[in-house]
Structure 1
Amino acid sequence: MSNSETKMGMFGGVSLSVLGQMPSNILQTVLLAALGACVSFFVSRILQWLSKIK
């Protein structure tokens, strides 16, 4: 196992444990913000693709 794999595993474990300690409204806000960012990104990519076709 490489050093970077160990660091990423440790980071993932710490991140998940911190998320488990957060109040639910903060976690919900973070998840909705991430979902909104993903939707915005994909909509902009689709619109760029459609504008290249015409």
Structure 2
Amino acid sequence: MKPFRFVKASYSTLEEDCVEVARNIPRTVALRDSKRAEGPVVTVAPAAWDAFTADLRRQP
């Protein structure tokens, strides 16, 4: 299996912790804590991730 290529969110700064997301594996979105790069990775289906992020964009 190819390794995940994680990207830090554009909203993150050097002082703030953030979630990193990898979308380079088909049918999988991987998430991890940016301050624990060697820590656990959570995977979800792309449809679930898209629904989650769409809901976040709708929040006031």
Please state which band the TM-score falls in when normalised by the shorter chain.
0.3 to 0.5
- Structure that is richer in helix per residue: 1
TM-score, length of structure 1 as denominator length: 0.37
- Structure that is richer in strand per residue: 2
Q: Which has the larger radius of gyration?
A: 1
